[in-house]
Amino acid sequence: MGRDFKDAVDASTIQSIVEEAFIAHAKDVNKWLRYKGCNRELAEELVQDAFIKLHNQYSGLKDKQSLKSWLISVAQNAYINYLEKASTRYESKEIYEGQINDHPTEQPDDHVEIMDCVTRKLSDFQRVEPERAFVINLQMDSMPISEIALILDRTEQATREYLSQSKKKLKPYLEECREFVAHD
């Protein structure tokens, strides 16, 4: 997308930018959703929703050069929301039918505190470094480096280096969580 982005753009320019972004990134966003287990129909719907959101929010975007990362993040959040709603409907049905155990197994408080801390810190990192967080998540989900490289449009070696740098940037965020592991 070889445009010179300005803060204020007219509707036809936004439409053109969204069309160019769709041509450039829709396939990658769809591929990512499919990799995460999303069915074809839902993936297509979520991709369309991400581009609608891009059209509606383009003027307010801070980093217009990272549209691909932003689109994948939007699609990821939409898919997570879909799964959470589906899970809630399923759990509600189980409760209604009396199938849920009245005494769920409780996790130790330390484990819950660690997970809460890590979740908070990963969210903080994702807000500051969305593309780096996305790449780390892909690796944590066992996606091969070759596929991550395709999504990022980088060589495998450049992708390995980017992952390494991303993890180094994540490390300071997680330092606070070490206190839960270190105490006796």
| pTM: predicted TM-score of the whole model, two decimal places | 0.47
Q: What is the band of 45 on the pLDDT scale with cuts at 50, 70, 90? A: very high
Q: CA-to-CA distance for 126 and 132, rounded, in angstroms? A: 8
Weakest mean pLDDT among 30-44, 91-105, 130-144: 91-105
- Name the 3-class secondary structure at 42: helix
The predicted-structure confidence for 17-43, as pLDDT tens digits, reads as follows 889 889 998 998 988 888 777 788 888
Residue 95: per-residue pLDDT? 43
DSSP state of 7: S
- Taking the mean position of all CA atoms in its chain, how far away is CA 134? 5
Round the average pLDDT of the chain to a whole number and report it: 77
Per-domain residue ranges for the chain?
A: 8-103, 106-184
Q: What is the band of 89 on the pLDDT scale with cuts at 50, 70, 90? A: low
Class assignment of domain 8-103?
mainly alpha
Q: Are 131 and 66 in contact (CB under 8 A)?
A: yes
- Taking the mean position of all CA atoms in its chain, how far away is CA 150? 17
